[in-house]
Structure 1
Amino acid sequence: MTATTGTDDGRAGRSSRDSRGGRDDRAELARLLPPATGFALPPGRHEHHRERLMNQIDHDTAADTASASAASAKDRAREGARDLAPARPRLLRPSFLAPATALALAGALVAGYSAQGGGDAPERMESGASASERAGEAQPVALVLNRISDAAAKGEAGPVRDDQFVYVRSQVQNGDLTSGTLVTTPLSEREDWYAQKPGPQKKLGLSREDGETLPINPQLGDTEGTAPGIGRPTYRWLAELPTDPRKLLDHITALTPKPEGQEHAQAVFDEIGGLVGFTVMPPETAAALYKAAALIPGVTEAPNAVDAVGRKGVGIARVDAHYSSRSEWVFDPETLTYLGSRSFLTADTAYGRKGALLSADAVVKRGVVDEAGVRPQD
């Protein structure tokens, strides 16, 4: 579609010091995290892992008194995270990390689905078209995306009522740096229920993975709840987006933050991937998003693309040279419907070899239900 993940007790707004006068690891972790960016990442995926992390931190804090040696170790870990963060690969879907390593790896994590934020629209050329538009129009991939757009325009998704939930079941894999090297977690099933209520909400839905069901809570800093937007793309919000591809690209670009070190065009590509992959939206909006993606410089066709469960299809890809990573969207070769995505390293790094998988997903089912936790009927 991607936030505080604590309960409604206002966790995000707590002081940086705990009740005993010590430093609050949760606040320190939030401070160390880099600006949020997205990668085809459904809203709630990062929230699910972050909630598990925060719960474990709460448990450890209550169980053990921080000793001087532990504090010293944490200080060294924080310093190491600051030193290593710029060189680490961007983990597109961070796995659950144990509290002992969380702070040391904080610099390597990028929060999943991005919050609304500022950003500059593509620079306009004298001809009136942006540089991204001119580059996209010159690429053969535009023909492929136009075909995908035409197929999306014939879809029958929605409408979705404000009192309903969008349901997505997927198979996912995530990158893990806990060991100091990149390890891809086993494939697991995930289910998400996204609330469609208008206005700021503190209960955004439910997420179920590995047999554990957790609430999807407001984004980091949204103490009054998270409003519909690019970080919480409800059907109503998606229906209000412009359907002219050039205007839509400018709009999405303006809402996509510029993450430090990452190409802004890549962040925009990832945002669009999250929207088309893990939401239910009006067909005309989906069609416009694919045509907008064709206007992003560097987007190419990816032959022999496969999703997380090995389904082969038509691929659309972009390489982020700054992060040495490649993102791919996969579409059914016959119907051109979205199947899933994957990302991997494009060069050898200190954390993994070229070709190492950063993340992968496969959408198994999407639907609309009246109650969170209930699966749609087949």
Structure 2
Amino acid sequence: MTATTGTDDGRGGRDGEDDRAELARLLPPATGFALPPGRHEHHRERLMNQIDHDTAAASASAKDRAPARPRLLRPSFLAPAITFALAGVLVAGYSAQGGPDLPVRADSGASASERAGNAQPVALVLNRISDAAAKSHAGPVRYDQFVYVRSQVQDGDLTGGTLVTGPLAEREIWYAQKPGPQKKLGQIRQDGETFPINAELGDTDGTREGVNRPTYRWLAALPTDPQRLLDHLTALTPESDTQEHAQAVFDQIGHLIRETVLPPETAAALYKAAALIPGVTEAPGAVDAVGRKGVGIARVDARYSWRSEWVFDPETLAYLGSRTFLTADTEIGGKGALLSADAVVKRDVVDEAGVRPQD
């Protein structure tokens, strides 16, 4: 049985939905350090697959080899980031991106004049990036097509309680563009495995277009006035005790530019909106997951000692990738320890999931 047919699974639940809902209900409230958006879904899906496997195995003993349910996958576009504490509960035994709480750090102490001094140069840089994005020929993307992105990704491993940087891995995503609530959103291929992307947990009727499922059509409908766009994204980004809200909004924009095809006007507005976020600065010497150097844009979450950087091609100003790393010594790792990184290798539009575009 699949998680989208709506049939009874023999335990009074619909295709295991009750199992996952009960698991979510029993977990403690999320506290501590928040992961960057979109960086936890691979490990979480491996966990969900293991839960399905174990449940099926238990059922087999009781019901004479009942068949296992297929794998489940959540969208890669998950704006509300899973916290480190929650990830530690969920991914025990896996190479995870989560872990124990990071110590709360005091604010950076930068004065208002210092913050204002940083605003002008980064605004000029982001305006240049915005102008370049506005001249791109990306899209449009038809409803029956898929956005394809191939990346090199690297994640921190906290299986042993200490942050260890994992190896680079190739990740491919095919993201469906169909309008309206959808239960099948595409697929991901990583670490030699291919997973379907099912609707987000709790979306029994399918996941709608939105910040957690940013289709080309949804992105094209966003406000193109930078302040209105920033206000809109700020309202869509949940408040959290585990992350500065301004940092969450910055990461939300980073999540929108990472694995989508952006309409040129929307892309231009997103970069100008990012320039309005307090604390956003230039990042000289920024590099992506494969070491490509470029124009860097960054923000530091001073409370939790981590820094998010975006990297752009120094000539074309096209997005190259991102990095997130610790900015101070913590219980799980030293200053500079990598939490996650990516490098976009290919971005295109294809007619079928699982099919690579022609180079």
**C-alpha distance in structure 2 between counterparts of 1:154 and 1:362, whole Å:** 22
What residue is the counterpart of 1:208 in the other structure?
Answer: 189
What residue is the counterpart of 2:79 in the other structure?
Answer: none
**C-alpha distance in structure 1 between counterparts of 2:119 and 2:33, whole Å:** 31
Matches within 5 A, 1:171-210: 171-210=152-191
**C-alpha distance in structure 2 between counterparts of 1:49 and 1:38, whole Å:** 12
Q: What is the aligned residue count?
A: 315
Deviations 1:133-165 (A, max 9, x none): x95994320000000000000000000001110
Identity of aligned residues (%): 71
Q: Following TM superposition, by how much is the alpha carbon of 1:35 offset from its aligned partner in structure 2, in angstroms?
A: 11
Q: 1:95 to 1:145 in 2, by over 3 A?
A: farther
**2:4 counterpart of 1:8:** yes
SS at match of 1:201: coil
Q: Following TM superposition, by how much is the alpha carbon of 1:339 offset from its aligned partner in structure 2, in angstroms?
A: 0.2
**C-alpha distance in structure 1 between counterparts of 2:169 and 2:47, whole Å:** 18
Does the CA contact (< 8 Å) of 1:12 and 1:221 recur in 2?
no
Amino acid of the residue matched to residue 202 of structure 1? K
Q: Following TM superposition, by how much is the alpha carbon of 1:224 offset from its aligned partner in structure 2, in angstroms?
A: 1.1
SS at match of 2:142: coil
What residue is the counterpart of 2:260 in the other structure?
Answer: 279
SS at match of 2:175: strand
Q: 1:96 to 1:260 in 2, by over 3 A?
A: closer
**C-alpha distance in structure 2 between counterparts of 1:375 and 1:36, whole Å:** 36
Does the CA contact (< 8 Å) of 1:91 and 1:358 recur in 2?
no
What residue is the counterpart of 2:46 in the other structure?
Answer: 52
With a CA cutoff of 8 Å and minimum separation of 6, indicate the structure with the bigger relative contact order: 1
Q: Following TM superposition, by how much is the alpha carbon of 1:96 offset from its aligned partner in structure 2, in angstroms?
A: 12
Q: Following TM superposition, by how much is the alpha carbon of 1:36 offset from its aligned partner in structure 2, in angstroms?
A: 11
**C-alpha distance in structure 1 between counterparts of 2:162 and 2:144, whole Å:** 44
TM-score (normalizing by structure 2): 0.79
- Which among 236, 242, 254 is matched to residue 261 of structure 1? 242
Matches within 5 A, 1:324-335: 324-335=305-316
TM-score (normalizing by structure 1): 0.75
Q: Following TM superposition, by how much is the alpha carbon of 1:176 offset from its aligned partner in structure 2, in angstroms?
A: 2.1
Q: 1:238 to 1:136 in 2, by over 3 A?
A: farther
Matches within 5 A, 1:84-163: 99=92, 138-163=119-144
Amino acid of the residue matched to residue 326 of structure 1? R
Q: Following TM superposition, by how much is the alpha carbon of 1:261 offset from its aligned partner in structure 2, in angstroms?
A: 2.6
SS at match of 2:283: strand
SS at match of 1:248: helix
Does the CA contact (< 8 Å) of 1:47 and 1:216 recur in 2?
no
What residue is the counterpart of 1:317 in the other structure?
Answer: 298
